[in-house]
Amino acid sequence: MPTAVRNSPMPPVTGYASMARRVYDDYESKPERRSRKKARSGRSAVSGVGRNKATGSRGEDRENGTGQSPSRLNLMYHKVKDSGVSDRPVDTDTFEVLKVTDYSGIHALMNPLWCYYGFRIAVIALTCFGVVMVFSASSVTMISYGLSPWKQALTQGFFCVLGLIACFVSMRFHSESYRKASFVFVVLSICLQLLTMTPLGIEVNGNKGWIGIPGLGSMQPAEFMKLALCIWLPWSVASAAKHYQREGFKAYLPLIVIFMGCLGAVMLGGDLGTALILVAIGVTAMLVGGFPTKWLIGSGLVLLALVVLFVVTSPNRMLRITAAYRPCPASALQGECYQSMHAKYAMASGGLFGVGIGNSREKWNYLPEAHNDFIFAIIGEETGFVGAAAVVILFAILGWCMFVIALQTPDRYASRVLICIAIWIVGQALINIMVVIGLLPVMGVPLPFVSAGGSSLVMCLFAAGVSTSMMRMQPEIHMDITSSRV
């Protein structure tokens, strides 16, 4: 390390660069470490011991908990400062303290670096496994339609590449960029959802929630709305909370009106399953954003009453509920119980290790939507308990990592966005799995990253990119990323 760089002054700055400086100053301010360094310097001048031959740095230089020597931290500071990152706007609470914790033993599960890379590995694993299972589950259906057995798999692969590009691009933006664009995202999502009520709208299985795009197929705007609410609601609720003492409940009226507009736009198409996911996102954002408890309970009761109303006024939904929670008579096995019963047949025939990928029997047009909403049943049949458990574990890793980093991120907006996205993806996965094994009535909710469907896959990968961007607000993660670029 050149002496000029190590001994150069560090003027006060704001943002990320100050983080490296704080660790460096904290290290240099401890007398016992300075004395040890002076003693080592004397020994090294005589015998050359105490220095790492590979890096040229001393072992105790890494006792600051970051894995970086003070000289390297100093260089990192100048590197970040010169790149202009320090000029980024950040929350006033951001990077107040860099917490150095012992992550040995069971506490390694709380290591933000492990969670950061574990989250990314889980996303890639689920996405790649999903493409394989979509091909396996859809090949027979495609042949029965007179199409190539590869058609659905190639389509899923195309959307996978598109989604990975969206993920890579979205992780490059700062959280402040998402905060500023969040309202535009919500308005755009409502406009797109309302287009399903026009002649462009397409009805699938009784739900009119798709837009037909000539030459490209169709898209489901509700998937974009989920991400838009995850980005907008945390900021909107926090902003309203600042004015609550002065304006009372009126401070929350605009966001409640817009949120109810989102729910109304989805329910116009009759998609209650997607509306419930939006409700879960909204309740989570309000809960972590400081929404008054009494109003939150009251709003929850109103929403619950509306859900019950939509259920009891729909004979189709009532049949689904009765099929899930009562023994199916012989007359219903070819009716409302058909799909759920064949899903159970698939899960039961999988055993411990499954019948092998490609060897499913239920995908031979016995199980409807085998490559879409009920793909978890095919996973259980072809890969058995081991494969199904692996999928559940990957979703558990996603949720755990997002919550751990959210709790350790000083940027409150980034933390709340991470929690909302975790509730969306993990909650939707849990609902899908519970539907397949018969614990919930059929809702038509896809399995994130795995089920066939371009809109769901692209938006889930887009959300993964946004989550990665928010995770980088965590000091230790940002320090690791910065050090890898030095």
Range with the lowest mean pLDDT among 78-87, 142-151, 228-237, 350-359?
A: 78-87
pLDDT tens for each residue of 412-441: 999 999 999 999 999 999 999 999 998 998
Domain-wise residue ranges, the chain = 3-88, 112-485
Per DSSP, the residues of 27-58 read: HHT-HHHHHHHHHHHHHHHHH--SB-TTTS-B
267-284 burial string, b = 16+ CB within 10 Å, else e?
eebbbbbbbbbbbbbbbb
- 57 neighbors 66 (Cβ within 8 angstroms): no
- Average pLDDT of the chain to the nearest whole number: 80
pLDDT at 115: 92
Strand order in the sheet with 217-219: 201-204, 207-213, 217-219
Is the pLDDT assigned to residue 63 strictly greater than 60?
no
- Residue 402: phi, psi to the nearest 5? -65, -40
pLDDT at 101: 61
Mean pLDDT of the 29-35 span: 48
More confidently predicted of 374 and 480: 374
pLDDT at 98: 40
* Local structure of residue 329 (DSSP, 8 states): P
Task: Say which amino acid occupies 8.
Answer: S
pLDDT at 250: 86
Mean pLDDT of the 145-164 span: 92
Mean pLDDT of the 14-30 span: 47
Distance (Å, whole) CA 218 – CA 362: 27
pTM: 0.80
Cα 431 from chain centre: 16
pLDDT at 8: 39
Is the pLDDT assigned to residue 407 strictly greater than 70?
yes
Which of 123, 113, 176 shows the shortest CA–CA distance to 463?
Answer: 123
Reported confidence tier of residue 11, pLDDT bands at 50, 70, 90: very low
pLDDT at 485: 65
- Rounded percentage of the chain residues whose pLDDT exceeds 70: 78
pLDDT tens for each residue of 433-471: 999 998 998 888 999 999 998 899 999 999 999 999 999
